[in-house]
Amino acid sequence: MSTVTKYTARDGDAVLPLFSLRGKTCIVTGSGAGIGYAVAQAFAEAGGNVAFLYNSNPKTVERAAETAEKYGVVCKAYKLDVTSQQEVEKTVDQVVEDFNGRLDVFVANAGIPWTKGPIIEANDHAHYTAVVSTDLDSVYFSAHAAGKHFQRQGCGSFVATASMSGHIVNLPQAQAVYNAAKAGVIHMCKSLAVEWAGFARVNTVSPGYIATEISSFVPDETKKIWHEKTPMRREGLANELKGAYLYFASDASTFTTGSDLIVDGGYCAP
């Protein structure tokens, strides 16, 4: 079993080496496509060994293998339902066992959108349960599973994908449930940052509108309104989020915890 070493901050250290994840074990949920896939690739490029966790995207197995070959690191794909606490605990423990007994970084990224419009018109409480379970409950399950390993080691970084929707109310689409779930993610992680201050860091990234498969159902006329309300007048790319996640995952952020980094092209600024 590998010994996990805790970085000791020192004035005068070169900055670029702090962003290295060389030899670290990283877990990314929802990493078969979109933001999660970009983050997993970024961590591998930085030298990390990455567990790709996915639910329904069979391409993940192939993408993990391709990433491992491209960057010369260890990458494996694991299928699980993030809404099952038992499955999450079992899978995280299995990853730690497979990756030499350590866990350095966990990114709770799995999520689904609200697609039913105004809640009075929705009449679909099953969708409510699915969104809250996937977007909020899974973060709790992930934190519970990862936190035990971080506490055992005395170090670790937990990063959750929140959303600018946890800060504002989006227009023109109605998505109260999604907004509430993401606001919950932000506050849960701030609270965990205080609970875990002695052994791990906890932060969130809040993307704005990002051009990924998750928004493929949105009509072009709605996206046009998004662009008009975004100062940079466009959607972001998953690639433009890599730096935010790498910062929180790496030793570049050893004094950063309880923070939320909004990456939204200026949407929340006005």
178 labelled catalytic: yes
Tell me if 167 sits within 8 A of 216, measured CB to CB: no
Q: Cβ-count burial of 263 within 10 angstroms (0-12 exposed, 13-18 middle, 19+ buried)?
A: middle
What span, in angstroms and rounded, lies between the C-alpha atoms of 109 and 162?
A: 8
72 Cβ partners below 8 Å, 6+ apart?
none
Q: How distant is the alpha carbon of residue 79 from its chain centre?
A: 17
- Tell how strand 75-79 and strand 260-263 pair up: unpaired
182 labelled catalytic: yes
**Beta partners for residue 49, in sequence order:** 25
| Residue of 31, 138, 157, 163 with catalytic role | 163
Find the farthest-apart pair of alpha carbons in the chain and give their distance in angstroms, rounded: 59
Q: Which residues of 63-73 are buried (b: 16+ CB within 10 A; e: fewer)?
A: bbeebbeebeb
| Residue of 31, 37, 182, 206 with catalytic role | 182
| Residue of 37, 54, 78, 178 with catalytic role | 178
Q: Where are the alpha helices (DSSP H) in the chain?
A: 34-45, 59-71, 85-98, 119-122, 125-132, 138-153, 176-195, 220-229, 242-249
Active site residues: 163, 178, 182
